[in-house]
Amino acid sequence: MISACFRIFQCQNGHVACFSCWSRLSNKCHVCCHEANFVRNIALEKIVESVKSSCSYANWGCSKQISYSLRNAHEESCLFAPSLCPIPGCGYRGFTGWWSGHFFINHSADGIRFLYSQCFQVDLEMSAPFLVLLAEDDHLFLLLNNNVVSLGHALSVICLRTGNLKWNFFYEMKAISSTNPENDLQLKASVTNTRDWGGVHPTEAFLLVPYAFCKDRKLTLNLSIEKIADARVSL
């Protein structure tokens, strides 16, 4: 069944309009200007639906031919949709499978490599807006540090990737007080996905760490990220 946004309508004189235009016409044809009772043009919908074209990311390696009605859905989750490197001033665009080489050559000191489901320690400079975390399978994560005035720092994790890549990610984070190691704060949450990071990125869950936890503007964190297959997607 064709999506509502790709339906095509026509007036009694045969003049057609797509769903977006039809919804703004108030039953008055944009061609003959007559009052019209628009009906769907199923035959034309079938023709449009049968037309296939290359993905917008063909130059990045995608070889799929997609029908007009499925184009937006495909490009939202296309494995070849590139993300912008988060390092300020870089401008490089890449995707999973390319990040390791890029960071090794250009930003070798700007990230931490980690293994899934294994806890690793992060010493975070509290003046840094984010820290790059590069997974064993080349997925690129950012540990975000959003300063909340008068309260502390809101810490969370996002992943630079397209929509559904057959995997879900979850993370556990523990912040340890620099002044009293017996005090700690913990959070377990799902990782937020975003294609590009353009600064402060809102997440549903975050760990709010009071300023008192930080000594000399540094904070020690224990972090682990878990990768789980999405049961809704056929592998």
Shared-domain flag, residues 111 and 219:
yes
Tokens representing 186? 């913990």
CA distances from 43 to 3, 49, 175, 215 (A): 15, 10, 61, 69
Cβ(83)–Cβ(95) below 8 Å = yes
d(CA 168, CA 227): 6
Q: For residues 72 and 75, what is the distance between their CA atoms, to the nearest angstrom?
A: 5
183 and 160, same structural domain? yes
Domain count, the chain: 3
Question: Do 127 and 89 belong together in one domain?
Answer: yes
CATH number at residue 87: 2.60.210.10
* The predicted structure's pLDDT at residue 107: 92
Q: Are residues 110 and 223 in the same domain?
A: yes
Q: What is the pLDDT of residue 235?
A: 42
Pair 128, 197 in one domain? yes
User: Can you give the pLDDT at residue 1?
Assistant: 53
Asked whether residue 74 falls in the same domain as residue 134, the answer is no
> Beta-carbon neighbour count of residue 89 at 10 Å?
5
Write the DSSP string, 26-69. Answer: TTB-TTT--B---EE-HHHHHHHHH-EEE-TTGGGT---EEEGG
Q: Are residues 135 and 169 in the same domain?
A: yes
Instruction: Give the Cα separation of 108 and 124 in Å (integer).
Output: 17
In a domain, 234, yes or no: no
Tell me how far apart the alpha carbons of residues 138 and 116 are, in angstroms, rounded to a whole number.
11
- Those residues with Cβ within 8 angstroms of residue 205's Cβ, 6 or more apart along the chain or in another chain: 156, 187, 189, 190
This prediction's pTM: 0.72
Range of the domain at 22: 1-50
Is 235 part of a structural domain of the chain?
A: no
CA distance 137 to 84: 18
Q: Is there a contact between 159 and 169 (Cβ–Cβ < 8 Å)?
A: yes
pLDDT in tens, the chain (235 residues): 555 567 888 888 888 888 777 777 777 888 888 777 788 888 887 877 777 888 878 887 788 888 777 777 777 777 788 888 999 889 898 888 789 899 989 998 888 999 999 999 999 888 889 999 999 999 999 999 988 878 889 999 999 886 556 789 999 999 988 778 788 899 999 998 888 787 766 688 999 999 888 877 888 899 999 999 876 654 4
Q: Dihedral sign for Cα 57, 61, 65, 70, please.
A: negative
